Structures are given as C-alpha cells and as structure tokens.
A and B are shown apart, each in its own frame.
With several copies, the nearest count.
Chain A
C-alpha cells in the first residue's frame, strides 16, 4: 500500500479536538502546505504541540490567526503577538514549557518512557504542581511524556517507504514528533523510490510514517 496520498486525504486524519504535533522552529521546518490546507479546511479546537507559534503569517502562526487552536503547548510565543493577545483574552490556553524539556517529553512519548527527570525549571514556576524526584541526592523535575493524535512533519526527502531525510535546521522537532503520534503525515520536498536512500542516512525510519504528500 502506497504511503503517498493527497493533501485532502491526509487531512482527513485531523479532526476537531485532536492533539496535533507540528514540526518547525519559527517556521523553519514547518510543513506550510499542510498548514495552509488545514487553515482552508477550518478544523477547530485543536491542541497544538510545537516549539513556538511562529509569526502571524508563517507556519503555526496561521492556525493561531485563524483561531483553530484551543490550546498551544510551546516553549515560545514572543514572535507572534496574536498568540499573546488571544492568551490574554482567554481565547487560547497557552502552556509554556522549556524547549529542552518539550523536546525530551516528545521523545519520551515516542520511546515508551514514563516521563523525564530534568534539572531544568527547578525553583521556577515551571516546577509548580510537579513531582520532584531525588536521585543520589540531586533533585530533578518529573516531566511527563507527550503524545499526539497526529503529527504534521516537514522533510527534505522521503522515499516511498516513508524513510525521511531532513535538511539543516529544518530538522529540529520533526524526527521526535514523527515517533510520538498515532498518525504521522509528512510533507516532503522530494519523493524518491524505496532503496534510493542509503540506510545509514535515514533520519526517521519509514515505519513511523503513515502518509506522505508532495511539498
């Protein structure tokens, strides 16, 4: 069964009230075609897990402007004033998480770990309400693992088996999110035949990928 599909068919898997992970860092490495189509489709009440909400006219920022998010779980919203505005009016719930913790929580979700033990955030409001675990006399914050219903991923090259290669800093959260969602949809700039990527060069193994659309 081919993993190559149309953008419309792929977005059938994104339904209201779902949790969606979206790759990218201030827009770099975000699947813009998928975002644009999702904005057109208008699916609402999404919880978005991502590094940031980018800019109002770029990447995840567009989903904020179109008011399709009910919650954003991110490390940074400073580049998108609309996110701050919706947060202040209560239209959008924003959960801010340290970037390294967020990355590791997503990895833990994909790796079947119960959470992570990190020193990051100890003694700050990030630690409020969370369990502190002492290991060999040193304190760590227990941060739970994160999973999603769908992940929207941007790759440089995909083969038809779903093996992915990312390019430069567009890699960022993409390989992690590809491990942590039930349905993984990839927007690939280039699609090649199975066997055309050397197994050592694969950055995300094809078993994680459900659907591929041409980016």
Chain B
C-alpha cells in the first residue's frame, strides 16, 4: 500500500455516519473513496454547496465545480448557496470535520499550509476559516517532505493558517492526537517502529500506553 493510500484509508475511519465533512484537495479528497461500510457522510464544498458527489460520479456541467475548480456533480438531497452561507456553515461550527494537508504542523496544534514567504504564495483560500470553524480538524499528509525533512515540528516556522487548531495528525507513519499537554502517539502504521517515527519527527511526543497499530487493511 502506498503512503497516500495508507493515509486516506486511515482518515476514512474518522468519518462517522451523518458527518458533514470538508475535504482539502489531494489526499484528504481521496479519503472519501474509502468510506467504511454503512457510513455515509455529506461533503461540503466551500465554493458553495453540500452534497458533493464522489469524484468518479457523472459530471454535470461547467457551472458546478469543486473547490479545486474541477467539474463535479451533486447528489440528490444536496443544496447550493452563496459564499457567505458556505462560510456561515464552516465558521458557525456546522462542519463536523475538515481534513487538510500541511506544509508544517507543530506540537501546539499550529498549522501552516498556505504560504512559503518569497517562494510559494497561493493564498489561504478557505483554509483559515475551515480550521477555525470545523469541530474536528485533521491534518492528513505524508510524514516528511519529499526530501525527507520532518514536517511535524516543535514550532511552525512558516506563517500560520491557524493557531492551536489541529486535533489529529494522520500520516503514512502514525496517528498523533494534539492534546493540551502536547502530541500523543495513538497508532503506528503496520511495520513502522516508534524509533522510525521519532527519527522523522522534530516535535516532542508521548506514547499512549494503549498505542496500537493503525487498523487499516
């Protein structure tokens, strides 16, 4: 199983039936393909609707795109609204869970995912609202950068998307919970050792006594 699939499958287990979920572009969106049996969620698309259909569904028209600008479709029972209502839903705590990627995340739950000064400045889009408004914020990302540098730090160095907003970090190596006392290692991926996690993580963390192997198949 490749890193992205591990992460997406583990994220999918966080879904509960009836959840309203907003998924970022990339790995987070992939998670919708691995919904546990009997679990149905409602996907919110921050550009203005609820009931985003899975990406492999039929594509209706150019006037219906997801937050990445891709043509998508909407499920029966969906609802369309303007951008103010879309973010009233997000900011108002009506989204149960949001899953986003990160450039950096740290042991205080800070998240940086919208700019690298002088290099990459895409803008925050809806991310700052999502992390401040969603009930549960999950960072889903490969544990390190492509060149192997740690992304889970003691303190973010890049401009923040949100301060103290992250609840869980799900990577191809492990699952961390962000607690008031710092990071708690809940699970490690099959075949991964705690040492391996430690080597690839700058942040301090505590191992949960009941730590288990990531339950993915």
Q: Which of B143-188 contact A (CB under 8 A)?
A: 159-164
Q: For B92, give the chain A residue with the smallest CB separation.
A: A112
Q: Which of A76, A78, A179 sits near B88, CB closer than 8 Å?
A: A179
B92 touches A168 (CB 8 A): no
Which residues of B lie under 8 Å from residue A199 when comparing CB positions?
Answer: 49, 51, 74, 78-80
CA distance A161 to B69 in the complex (A): 27
The 0/1 profile, CB within 8 Å of B marked 1, for residues 49-84 of chain A is 001100000000000000000000011111100001
B124 touches A202 (CB 8 A): no
Decide yes or no whether A42 CB sits under 8 A from chain B.
no
Decide yes or no whether B42 CB sits under 8 A from chain A.
yes
Q: Which of B37-63 contact A (CB under 8 A)?
A: 42, 45-51, 60-63
Say whether, besides A26-B69, A74-B123, A100-B129, A207 and B159 are in contact (CB < 8 Å).
no
A163 touches B79 (CB 8 A): yes
B69 touches A75 (CB 8 A): no
Interface centre among A87, A156, A208 (most CB of B within 10 A): A208
The 0/1 profile, CB within 8 Å of A marked 1, for residues 67-93 of chain B is 111000010111111111111111111
Decide yes or no whether A31 CB sits under 8 A from chain B.
no
Decide yes or no whether B20 CB sits under 8 A from chain A.
yes
A175 touches B50 (CB 8 A): no
Decide yes or no whether B65 CB sits under 8 A from chain A.
yes
Binds B, one of A4-12, A13-21, A122-130: A122-130
Decide yes or no whether B125 CB sits under 8 A from chain A.
yes
Smallest distance from the beta carbon of B108 to chain A beta carbons, Å?
A: 10
Sorted nearest first, the 10 A-B pairs with minimum C-beta distance are: A78-B122, A195-B76, A100-B87, A123-B163, A26-B69, A100-B129, A112-B91, A111-B88, A202-B79, A205-B79
Measured CB to CB, the residues of A under 8 A from B are 1, 25-29, 51-52, 74-79, 84, 87, 94, 96, 98-104, 106-107, 109-113, 118-126, 156, 159-161, 163, 166-176, 179, 194-195, 199-200, 202-203, 205-208
